[in-house]
Amino acid sequence: MPTSGSLLQELRDVHLPAPISLWPPAPGWWITFGLVMMGGMVFLWILRNRRRTQARRLAMNELGAIKQHYDTHRDDQWLVQRLSTIVRRYAMVTFPRTEVAGLVGVSWLQFLDRSGRTNEFTAGVGHLLSSGPYQQQAVVSGNELMQLVEHWIQHVTPPNGRERT
């Protein structure tokens, strides 16, 4: 039987494993990096989309306030003036200023029909937006005109497919 001294001499020294390298990262780090990149892209897309539709949201909020005021006061002249203003302002934000700023009368109504893919401005209740704000008394179907303006704001087609900011 071997002695304990000879057994100790047969033992080898402790070998440390090779140091862990930083590259390539473990799969968990790749997954984390991918999720962070996807989250950043989604965040940028949401931010860009919100900025692009900000004018539409503001116009719809203002239209809601106009509806509430009109429901309580039933002032047709006030309604036509406000709707004309909101349509003009939204068109100025959405389209190039040089294309919209000089339009008046029938050319303004034709522009609204063309951009909103409708004929309700030249042939329907929307014709009041060109002459109604300047008349002493306007008699109008308020709800019908508000629906037309709301439809136009929601479905207007900017020239490049995006609203200007």
- The reported pTM is 0.72
Quote the pLDDT of residue 165.
46
Sites in the chain below the pLDDT cut of 70? 1-2, 4-5, 138, 160-165
- Dihedral angle over CA of 113, 158, 163, 87, nearest 10: -10
Cβ pair 81, 133 in contact under 8 A = yes
Rounded CA-CA distance 132/128 in Å is 5
Quote the pLDDT of residue 133.
77
DSSP class of 125 = G
Rounded CA-CA distance 108/101 in Å is 9
* Residue 138: strand, helix, or coil: coil
